[in-house]
Structure 1
Amino acid sequence: MIETKEINIDGVLQAAQKQSIDKSAPTFVSVTEKIDKMNAIDFFQSGKVLGKNRIYWSSSDQQTIFAGIGDAVILADSNASYNTIKNKWKKWMQNSKIVNPYDNTRSGPIAFGGFPFDSEEPAEELWRGFDGSQFRVPTFLLTIDHSDVYLTTTVLVEEESHVDQLAAELITEKHQLLHVTHAEFQDNQIVLKHEVDPEAWKTLVERATEKIAANQVDKIVLARELQVEFDQPCDVGQVLSQLQQTQQHSYVFAWEKDGVCFVGATPERLVKVNDQKVFSACIAGTAPRGKTVEQDYEFGQQLLCDQKNREEHQFVVDMIKQAVHSLAKSVHIPDEPVLYPLKNLQHLYTPVEAELEEGYTLLDAVEKLHPTPALCGFPRETALDFIRHFEKLERGWYGAPIGWFDQHFNGEFAVAIRSALINEEKASLFAGCGVVKDSDPEIEYQETAIKFTPMLHALGELK
């Protein structure tokens, strides 16, 4: 049983309603309590009982984990404007009542969501419902920060709200969520796989290399889709459990809307901001892991010395360096990359540290950095134009910024790769690779096949 250090929610809501009346506007109410230890995936699974949208986020070191249930506040913009999301959040914070005695934690009101890869791409059949930029503040947010566990309850209180009834509903739902002893999972099993026109994709790679050979662009990132079907509706909690166990050093995320869930385990941080300190990462260049220590070392050294991969990585470093310098000071970027090992793959990695100039926020940094050459190409606009005209995949949120921010715009965004869009008995997996002048279509095809592996295993493919 989970015991909370109770805060009088009814009293908080009564005070919030008075504020709403005084200001003639709804009040954003957020109440944080410290609770006993609870498993975040169990909490995520318990949200199925309430039939509400869910979110999940685990940092790459697994020291910060969020699980959210319900939609207390939604921030959305069909035009995918970063500035609109920022201004909407500021407006809510200006008319808020936040009860959180734990200032030095990641508890409190937090918005989760993402931006599309390409703001000009319409959300059609595959990504219907994920149009534009969308963020939500969960009604109930479980925060695990190292060994501390918190529950934040968020709700809007209006002038005419029935606060006694609202308080009773929140207490009942909270009790349901916190008193799940251990969540039940079903075993997911893939029964059908279908690659979406791989030969046409290889032909597209050839077309991209021709454009690069003509000196019209240096690099173009092309992505493709793998469709799978299950023998029954996919259990997202089971997928998260598998990813959390197997994809260490990756950000594990899930963002569910009306029964459709975007889920993944990405190694790639886009940007993190904490008290104006900026942390980003350049990740580009890929090799498999070896079956032995010796083979693994050999693959890693080949990657470090491979001209094609080093060139691809340098595009990312140069672009991120330029973007960070435009809004930050004290920028530090090492001269040489190192290896970043994951369970199935290893990458070239260069960390970036800086300090935001006054007036800039995390969302400004996200806007400057996305899309990086690792997910789009270089130069950005030329590569993006090629993708818009010739790539058949509807990218949606794949390869786009996904993450969170708090009331002060501290937070973190990752690049949503190694991911899948799950819709009941079906899922679409996405993988991409950087095409440069020396790219071979078959080798690039095999690289994307390797990149599908983590999600395939997590979704239930036989090992």
Structure 2
Amino acid sequence: MESLGSGGDASGRGDAPLVTRRRELDAVSRRAVLDAFGPPRAVWTPPDDPSFVGWGAAATLSADGRNRLTQLQVSADRLFAHIDADDAPQGTRPRLVGGISFHDAHQPDPPWTGFDSARFVLPQLQLTWTDDSAWLTANAVGPDDPAAVDDRVEDALAEIEDATPSGRISEPPGVTSRKRCPSRERWREQVRAAIDRISGGDLQKVVLAQSLSVELERELSLPDVIARLDIAYPDCQRFLVQPGDGPVFFGATPERLVSVSGRTVETVALAGSTGRGDTTEEDEWLAAELLDSKKDIHEHELVADAVRTQLSPYASSVQTGQRTVRKLPTVQHLQTPITAELDDAEHVLTLVEALHPTPAVGGLPPDAAWETIKETEAFDRGWYASPVGWFDAAGDGAFAVGIRSAVAEADRATLFAGAGIVADSDPDREWDEVQLKYGPMLDALE
């Protein structure tokens, strides 16, 4: 495995060519591929763009500290400086996939073993599904013989053709025990303390999170848990990152952080929540109440205004769409699409750095919210509520916010969810909202 350190090449091969070869193939089951090939691996399945699975590591980039995304960009530019590639669709080009931690001072301690402060992998093999076909891409950094990459493609094709799903999608493994952090009473104290800060003028909003650690009856099957999320949450971004033989971070997030294609930027403001109704009438009543809720509209507009402000230094224009209700199986959100045209071409990592953390997962003002979160929460967020995604040699890419997510290993998992606290928040209502947000991961596990 080629290992590229932040801002430098640990192997001394930064000028080595990146050799990429591709083949088109017949339809293949992603579940079968996930079952056949081991870590490191990644899954990216957006609702309206090509999806891909990557496995193996042709190169690994990592960085830490306040300048971690700048360091990653420098390392990536070196990696992509010399590409020996055949012709194929744009979506099959080599890409780095991974993410960063919520706090830049994160340490990869359990349950986040292997999840550095920032870590991206160039897969050895990448399988991409476009509208009407599938493509296998093989990558190698500085191979002794470029023809060996062609051989790798052919060998992988043979393995993929032999891969078949192992029967029907299994039932969820089941949950035998749960441990919450914080307790309900401690949560009330945290929310009240945050409201006091808001009343004192230090804060406008802060997002406080909870963790839920569970023990499972059986070991988790990654192909099956992703298959269940695909069925239940087709309109969300499904993702999986497993950097090594240990834990895996996965989820079905409704929140796009940013996507960049050329000079076009797309993002969304997502904040303000309510539950789903037991009947159509109740559901519509809850949606109407959400659209008319002063508390939720205030929280939502804080997020939308901040996103527009964060994009404006880079954009010739920023356009805001209509605020609507986003309906998910267990929760409804206020959402507003936001698009921008850039003045100049910008790397997607530059915009990730400008936007993270959004007020939807951090708060306002950012520094005061950041400090409140670090002082209040009794667990490490790790990669929860952080940017997860991919980018290519052109600096194009797509990132989601890693919410509705869990980190798991063997028969244990830790789930995360949070709620935005503003001046008129009620601690018990916010507690109930967090429980709703555990729904996607709990449904996939029990």
Tell me if TM exceeds 0.5: yes
Distance 2:257 2:149 in 1: 38
The answer to whether residue 159 in structure 2 is matched with residue 182 in structure 1 is no
Q: Is the 8 A contact 1:284 1:348 kept in 2?
A: yes
The answer to whether residue 285 in structure 2 is matched with residue 285 in structure 1 is no
Q: CA deviation at 1:162?
A: 6.6
Deviation per CA, 1:338-365: give whole Å up to 9, x if none.
1111121111011111112214221111
2:219 to 230, 233, 256: 233
Q: CA deviation at 1:289?
A: 1.5
The answer to whether residue 168 in structure 2 is matched with residue 156 in structure 1 is no
What letter matches 2:158 in structure 1?
A: H
What letter matches 1:317 in structure 2?
A: A
Q: CA deviation at 1:211?
A: 0.9
Distance 2:419 2:166 in 1: 37
1:65 to 51, 66, 81: 51
- Does 300-309 or 75-84 show the bigger shift? 75-84
Q: CA deviation at 1:165?
A: 6.8
User: Structure 1 residues 24 and 93 mapped into 2: Cα distance closer, same or farther (>3 Å)?
Assistant: closer
Q: CA deviation at 1:278?
A: 0.4
The answer to whether residue 292 in structure 2 is matched with residue 302 in structure 1 is no
Distance 1:332 1:174 in 2: 44
2:130 to 145, 168, 179: 145
Distance 1:286 1:269 in 2: 16
**Which residue matches 2:7?**
none
Distance 2:41 2:195 in 1: 41
Q: Is the 8 A contact 1:126 1:394 kept in 2?
A: no
1:112 to 66, 80, 97: 97
User: Structure 1 residues 37 and 24 mapped into 2: Cα distance closer, same or farther (>3 Å)?
Assistant: closer
**Which residue matches 1:126?**
111
Distance 2:147 2:21 in 1: 16
Deviation per CA, 1:263-316: give whole Å up to 9, x if none.
000000001111220001000001112122111110000001111111100110
The secondary structure found in structure 2 opposite 1:128 is: coil
Distance 2:414 2:87 in 1: 40
Q: Is the 8 A contact 2:96 2:122 kept in 1?
A: yes
Deviation per CA, 1:21-51: give whole Å up to 9, x if none.
xx9942211112111111222222221xxx3
Gap runs ≥5 in structure 2: 1-12
The answer to whether residue 262 in structure 2 is matched with residue 275 in structure 1 is yes
2:374 to 382, 388, 396: 388
Distance 1:165 1:412 in 2: 31
**Which residue matches 1:82?**
69
1:160-175 equivalences under 5 Å are 161=144, 171-175=154-158
Distance 1:384 1:249 in 2: 30
Q: Is the 8 A contact 2:208 2:418 kept in 1?
A: yes
**Which residue matches 1:242?**
228
Gap runs ≥5 in structure 1: 1-22
Q: CA deviation at 1:172?
A: 3.2
Distance 1:171 1:372 in 2: 44
Q: Is the 8 A contact 1:399 1:415 kept in 2?
A: yes
Distance 1:146 1:122 in 2: 40
Q: How many residue pairs are counted as aligned between the two chains?
A: 429
Distance 2:430 2:118 in 1: 31
Distance 1:83 1:250 in 2: 29
What letter matches 1:149 in structure 2?
A: A
What letter matches 2:348 in structure 1?
A: L
Q: CA deviation at 1:167?
A: 6.0
RMSD: 1.9
